[in-house]
Every structure is written in C-alpha cells, then in structure tokens.
Chains A and B, each alone.
Chain A
Amino acid sequence: MKRAARIVNGSGAEVRFGRELGRGGEGSVFEIEGRSDLVAKLYHKPLSKEKQDKIEAMVRLKTERLLRFTVWPVDVMRDAGRRVVGFLMPCLSGQEIHKLYGPKTRLTEFPQAGYSFLVHTAANLARAFAAVHEAGHVVGDINHSNFYVTDQATILMLDCDSFQVQSGGARFGCDVGIPMYMPPELQGVTSFRGVVRSRNHDNFGLAVFIFMLLFMGRHPFAGKYSGTGDMPIERAIREFRFAYGSSSAARQMQPPPGALPLQVLPPAVQALFERAFAQESMTRRPDAQEWIAALQDMSGGLMPCSRNPAHQYPAQAKACPWCAMEAATGGLLFRPADSAQRMASQAGSMGGTGSGIAADSAAGFQLHQIWAQIQRVQTPAPARTLPEPSTLAAEPSAPVAAYLRRRKWRGAFSLASLLSAAGVWIFLPGFWMITAGGLVGVNLLLLIAGVGRRSLRSARSEERDRLRERWNELSLRYAEASRLAPFAGKLRELEQAKREYMDLEVFKATELRRLEAKQRSGQMQFHLRRHRIEQAQLDGIGPGRKASLALFGIETALEVETHRLARVPGFGPANTRMLLAWRDRIERRFVFDPTVGKVPQAEILAVERTVEARTRDLERRLSLGASELARLSAGIRSRQEAALREAGGTARALAQAELDVNVL
C-alpha cells in the first residue's frame, strides 16, 4: 500500500501496514508488519478533535478485563502532525454473532453448536456487557456485526471506538445505533448525537441478542400481528409488542408459527425477558449480572433429547421442543448427530442386555422395541366357510306347529265324520240324506279350515325367501368383514418403513459419496483439461495431426476418448492406442484433493435435511404402527363377530322357515 505520510504509534515507532483485512464506512483495518497479535484501524477521513481525544482516552482506559471481551484500542496511531489517524487493537477471532443464532448459517459455520453452546454464548455476551458496564462505559451501537463468537463460545466486541466512553469527568458519546436493537425510548430518534446512552438502554439490546441466541434467530418483536396494516419491528418495539410475552395477546401479537414458546425456558429466564421488554419495567431492565446468573443456571439444567443426540433442551419442557419444531417446519435447527452416533445408540439397545435401555427408551425411538410391539398385534382370523342353513336342525315355527296339530285333529274329525256317515248309511239306510248332508256339511267346514293352510304356507315361504336373501347378504358382509387386505397392507407398509429406516444411514452415506464422487470427477476433468495435446510430446503425432484433432474438438486429454477419435479421418488404431495411453498416464498422476472445490455445504445439508425429515417421518409412522395395526385388527374382528352373530340368528330362522314350507 502506498501512503504519503509516515505513521507512528504512541511511542513514536513507525507502523508498517500489511494486507488490508477489511474496509468499512469510516476506516480500514490492516495487518501490521511484525505484529501478528495486533491490527491497525486507519480512518479514511481526518478525525475531529473530540474523536482524537476519545481514542487517546480509550487507550489510557484499557484494562486487562476489557481486553478479554473486546478489541479495545491499545495504542494510538499518529501522522506527522501528531494528529490521531487511527489506533492499534488486538486481532479479531471468531465470526459474526448472527452466523451463530441464525440456524441456516449455524449449520455450516458452527456445525458443532448445540443449544448448550447457544446458552453458553448468551451468558458470555452478558459477561462482556458486564465488563464494559463495570468500567463505566456503554456499548451503545448494539448490532449483529459488532459481536464476534469464537468456536469456544467466547465473545469479542468490536467497533469499540463507537462505545460511549467515560473518562473521569469527561464523557465521549456514541453517535450510532440500529433501531431494531434499540429500546422503545430511543425509537424515532433521528440523530444519536448528543443523546446520553445508559446501561439500561444497553440492557434492552443485550436482552434482544440473548433472545435471538435462545430463539433460533427470531427477533422478540417480530411476530404475527392481528391488527390491520404492517407492524415493522421498530414500531412493535415502540409499542411494547413483545410477541412472546404474557401480554402479547392484549397487544395483538402472537409468536410466529413454528417458533420456540417462551414457556419452554426456565421460569427465571422467562421472567427476565418479560421484564426486559415490558413497559412497566422499562426503567429497570435486567442487567448483565442478572442474565449471567439465570443463564448459568439454565446451562446446568439442559438435558439431551433421547431421540436426536444433537438436541438439548431445558429440563422443565415436557418433550424436546426442537423435534417438534423441526417436524412442524421441516427445517433443520441443529446439525444432526453424525450417523455413527445414532447407529451406536440404536445398536446399544438392540443388544437388549444393557442397562442403558431403561434410561434412554423412556422417550427415545428404539426400533427393536417398536417392532416387537408391532409383531405382538393379533392377526385377525380369515373368513370361515359358513354352514348351509337348510342343513341345520330345526323345529317348525309356533303357528305351523299349531296348524299341524289342528290338521291332525281335523283329519281325525273328517275320518270320524266319514266313518259315522258310513255307519249311518249301513245301519240306517233310510237316513242317507242326513248322512250325505252331514258328511258334506262337516267336510265343507273342514275344507274352509283348509284355506288357512295355504295362506300360512305362502306367508312362510315369503318369509323363507326374505330370510334367504338376508342370509346371502350377511354371508357377503361376513366375507367383506373378514377381508384382511387393510391389515396386511398396513403390515407390509410397516415392514417397508422398517427396512427403509434401517437403510437410512446407508442412503446418507451413498448420497455423500455421490457428492464426493461428483467433486472428484470435477477435479479429474479439470486435471485432464489442463493437459493440452498441442503441448504434448507424442511420437508420430505432429502438428498436422494435432490440428486435425483440434478440428474435431479434441484439444485436451479430457476429450481423448475412443468414440471421438474414431471420427477423426486417418487416425489409425496405433495412434489411438498411443493417445489413450497418454491420457491414462495423466489420469494416474491425478491426486484427489478433498480440500479443493469442497462439496458445497448446501448440498450436504440438503442430504442431511432429507435424511433427518425421513428419519422423523419413519419413526413417527413406526411408533404409531402397533396401535394402528391393533385398531385394524380389532375392527376386523368386531365386524366379523357382529356379522356372525346376526348370520347365526338368520340361519336358524331360515332353517325353520324352510322346514315350515316343506311340511305345509
């Protein structure tokens, strides 16, 4: 870098700049030659007297404690006119905090970070605020790019030169602020110049960032607004519309769908959030120390999810909220535990002897247990052949029996009348008229009685036909009720789900290998393309031949393929063999570099998201399997029984009707 003026540090030694590390609105940050622990911030424009004084004061005010949490200025930089043009500060490490609290970036930038890491970071953020506040300063410009998080969950604050700094009796102000992290009383402020910032202002921003860390990047004031019109975040802040609080409904707010409910957190933490965002307590928001205590307790009370080892949650929650949220939204909140872990926890319980089962089978998914439950479900009996009703033993029905009795008596009467008529005719021939008249009269009476038989017979045969029809209907219903297809179908479905579940890890590994193979072949192609035929020393293939190859698009080793060479006129087998051997040699020299052109994280995540969703879905289906199967089985059996019960009654009635008709 060329710079006109010589720049010196506080003790007059020249500062030599290395690479520019970053460029912001007011200045650039450079490496310093010979110092790997420090960097230099150089302002683009000359600084006001006040700002120069501020930086000098800050350098004087540096403490060991502040430097643990911030990149505090440790030395000034001056130009030839002794004007302050910048300062030296410790190197920054870590990444912007929004990359941690936003799940999308957390999955790739902090893949190992579970909920306990987030709670830990939140506590460390509170510790950083405590350090700044205890030194008498105010952070002021709280925003998503000013806090860096390391992979140890520690916090470093940057842009310290914008802090409000207290130096003895003098106060150097903070002129900036991003409204979405500012308290209600600072909303609508058009310029922060001259506004005195307080720790209580900071405490609002601190609570917002702790909230975003604990709530998967959700802003406490972004929710569903049931009123008309838009509800931008600053307006919601100004109007105390904390979307998750106890008074949110009264303020027409509700948490976004699929967000963590506040009630899942320990009561002490809930209470701190309520106090930080409510109107009544706006003058006494929780300070950093209160947060440290509550978050430390919370950290100790996290428990692992028994289903997904990547999930940890506050112990007082009834079930793992992350499983519920991931299932509800289909998104990934935490990087799923690697396959080995999951397999190990499955395998451990498969053995069936360990004492570990009792501990983690309480809520966790155990395939072998679930499957045993499924297998215990009673298979319903297939349909039996029903007996033909006419073969059943039966008694005539009451009216028929009565008729039969009457008929017996009538026969006897008729016989008696005949006999008596014959007697009269033999012994008293003169009275034949009486005989004939009596006989005719009696038998006429008997004939009239015989009409009852026909009507009874037709009634019974009608009944028989009705019953036969009903019987046919019921046999069909029984056969229908005994159809096992739904049960068998469900069982097959579950078997399929089980197979798929057991293959998931294989599937994931295959997919990841496929991605790697794609990357490998990409690298191989690149490697082959770098070897140009025109530059190669190839016996018998001179510039002319090379030109004709080029004419057919064969310019690098990549294009050297049998079917392509075959199209080139005058290119014989010997030349072809030699070119292929050349390509082969180049291929063998290829070394795969897994760090170059890494498989894009997004593609790996897509596989993981799919496998996770599939795992969840299969576990749900298999867990429900036993009860669904039992319900199907019980349904079949009860329908079978009902049909059989009714069929039994009908069969008996039918047998009787058949008998009745036969005897009449």
Chain B
Amino acid sequence: MFEFDQIPFAAEFAENPEPRCPCILLLDTSYSMSGQPINELNRGLSSFKEELMTDSMSVKRVELAVVSFGPVQATSDFGTPDDFYPPMLTASGNTPMGAAIEKAVSMLEERKNVYKQNGISYYRPWIFLITDGAPTDDWQRAAALVREGEASKSFMFFAVGVENADMNVLNQIATRAPLKLKGLRFADLFSWLSNSLNSVSHSTPGDQIRLENPASPEGWALI
C-alpha cells in the first residue's frame, strides 16, 4: 500500500502551537567518559524524558535536542519530550568542545527561524554542556559566541563539569559560573533540569525564572 508519511513541517505547530522552550544538551562522549560515567549519563537521559513527560505543559513546550561530541553530531534533533527518544551514547574519540558549541549555536539559530516562520513564540533557549575533560580543539571562537549569545539574551549557556573536567577552561567559556557535578549524580542533575524547564514552561516567554540553586548542600553541584 503506502509508507507512513512523514509529518510535514508545519504539522507539529498546527497541532501544538504552544510557545516553545528549546534546550540543547551538549554531551561529552569522549573516551574518558567510558564505563560508569557514560552509563549514568544514559540512565539520566531516559529518566529526564520521563520526568518531562509528567508535566502536561512541558510536554507541549519544551523541545530537546542532543549534540554529542566527539565526533560532533546532532544525535537528536529538536522535538517535544514525547517525541524525544534518548540516544544510547557510547564513549569514544576526543573532545572537540569548541566545534560542538558552534554547532549548538547554529542549530538554535535555525530552530528560532523555524519558530518565527511559523508564528510560534519561544522562551530563551538553553544550552546545557556536560563534559569531563578539556577541549581538544580551538574553543576561542565558541567562547566568543557564548559571550555574545548571553549578552544579547539569545540563549542561556550552562556548563557542568564531571570528575576531572577542566573547570578553568569551562570558566573561560561560560559566562555563568560552571558547576561541578557531585560524583556521578546525573539523575539529580536531570531531575533539576526537568524541574527548571517545567517552571519555565509554566511562565511566559521572556519572564525571569528563579531557578532552584543546584549548589545547595542537598543539590547535585558544587561551584
């Protein structure tokens, strides 16, 4: 008979015209993440989806994309949580963090254009970087992009260091203070992220959101 047709472009906005909060997860899949860290990260990703699904507004408003590095690739393109299938990440390769950040910034620009074309309002996008190392490529341009994006409020950039991450470089890339993950508490991290996105999705695009402090004693992070 016939193949299942792809849902054309505008269908997702016709069926769901709610304002969107795009969030890109920039995930380090370099070799040093092998073993326990990558397993915890994968587990965290699937619980992330589940937690977002429990909020009826986040399901409509949050859009997730995943860029893994290295090599740099868009593992999942933007979609609402019901449409998001957590990838099974495997660790290999080096840490082209600069290229990954550039890719994320350009994906966001593209997505924003799609929103504008379709008359869809949106929240300030999130870029959420998780890494356990230091960039193996040139990250100066990426750092400039982050500074520019934060200054013009075109996105918020969060950096999280795992284990032996080079917090010094992260500090130079991110304008917000990078956070250090306590142990491998990815589950808590994603739980916090989903709560934060939930509160964003219940607000109005452009609102200032007070995020719960992840670096509190019971939080998942250290400053």
Residue A44, interface by CB 8 Å: no
Report the minimal beta-carbon distance from B122 to chain A, rounded to whole angstroms.
Answer: 8
Question: Do A331 and B15 touch across chains, with their CB atoms under 8 A apart?
Answer: yes
Assembly CA distance A256 to B114 (angstroms): 12
Residue A301, interface by CB 8 Å: no
Residue A330, interface by CB 8 Å: yes
Question: Do A180 and B117 touch across chains, with their CB atoms under 8 A apart?
Answer: no
Report the minimal beta-carbon distance from B124 to chain A, rounded to whole angstroms.
Answer: 9
Residue B82, interface by CB 8 Å: yes
Residue B116, interface by CB 8 Å: yes
CB-CB nearest in chain B for A103:
B15
Question: Do A330 and B205 touch across chains, with their CB atoms under 8 A apart?
Answer: no
Residue B13, interface by CB 8 Å: yes
Residue-by-residue, is B1-17 near A (CB-CB < 8 Å gives 1, otherwise 0)? Answer: 11011011111111111
Residue B218, interface by CB 8 Å: no
Question: Do A609 and B60 touch across chains, with their CB atoms under 8 A apart?
Answer: no
Complex interface residues of chain A between 210 and 235 (CB less than 8 A to chain B) = 216-219, 222-225, 232-235
Residue B73, interface by CB 8 Å: no
Question: Do A104 and B204 touch across chains, with their CB atoms under 8 A apart?
Answer: no
Assembly CA distance A259 to B121 (angstroms): 14
Residue-by-residue, is A602-617 near B (CB-CB < 8 Å gives 1, otherwise 0)? Answer: 1000100110011000
Question: Do A331 and B10 touch across chains, with their CB atoms under 8 A apart?
Answer: yes
Report the minimal beta-carbon distance from A423 to chain B, rounded to whole angstroms.
Answer: 101
Question: Do B56 and A259 touch across chains, with their CB atoms under 8 A apart?
Answer: no
Question: Do B5 and A104 touch across chains, with their CB atoms under 8 A apart?
Answer: no
Which single member of B4, B14, B118, B205 contacts A606 (CB below 8 Å)?
A: B4
Assembly CA distance A582 to B202 (angstroms): 55
Which single member of B5, B8, B18 contacts A217 (CB below 8 Å)?
A: B18
Complex interface residues of chain B between 132 and 188 (CB less than 8 A to chain A) = none
List, in ascending order, chain A residues with CB within 8 A of B14's CB: 103, 216, 258, 325-326, 329-331, 333
Assembly CA distance A227 to B90 (angstroms): 44
Number of B interface residues at 8 Å Cβ cutoff, please give it. Answer: 33
Report the minimal beta-carbon distance from B219 to chain A, rounded to whole angstroms.
Answer: 19
Residue A257, interface by CB 8 Å: yes
Residue-by-residue, is A266-297 near B (CB-CB < 8 Å gives 1, otherwise 0)? Answer: 00000000000000000000000000000000
Question: Do B4 and A98 touch across chains, with their CB atoms under 8 A apart?
Answer: no
Report the minimal beta-carbon distance from B197 to chain A, rounded to whole angstroms.
Answer: 16
Complex interface residues of chain A between 148 and 168 (CB less than 8 A to chain B) = none
Residue A426, interface by CB 8 Å: no
Task: Report if A104-B60 is in contact (Cβ < 8 Å); known contacts: A331-B7, A331-B11, A333-B14.
Answer: yes
What are 26 A-B residue pairs whose CB atoms fall within 8 Å in the complex?
Answer: A98-B18, A104-B60, A107-B15, A144-B57, A178-B202, A178-B204, A179-B206, A179-B207, A180-B204, A217-B17, A233-B19, A233-B204, A254-B119, A256-B119, A256-B120, A257-B117, A258-B14, A325-B14, A326-B14, A330-B5, A330-B7, A330-B11, A330-B14, A503-B1, A606-B4, A610-B4
By a beta-carbon cutoff of 8 Å, the part of chain B in contact with chain A is: 1-2, 4-5, 7-19, 56-57, 60, 82, 116-121, 202-207
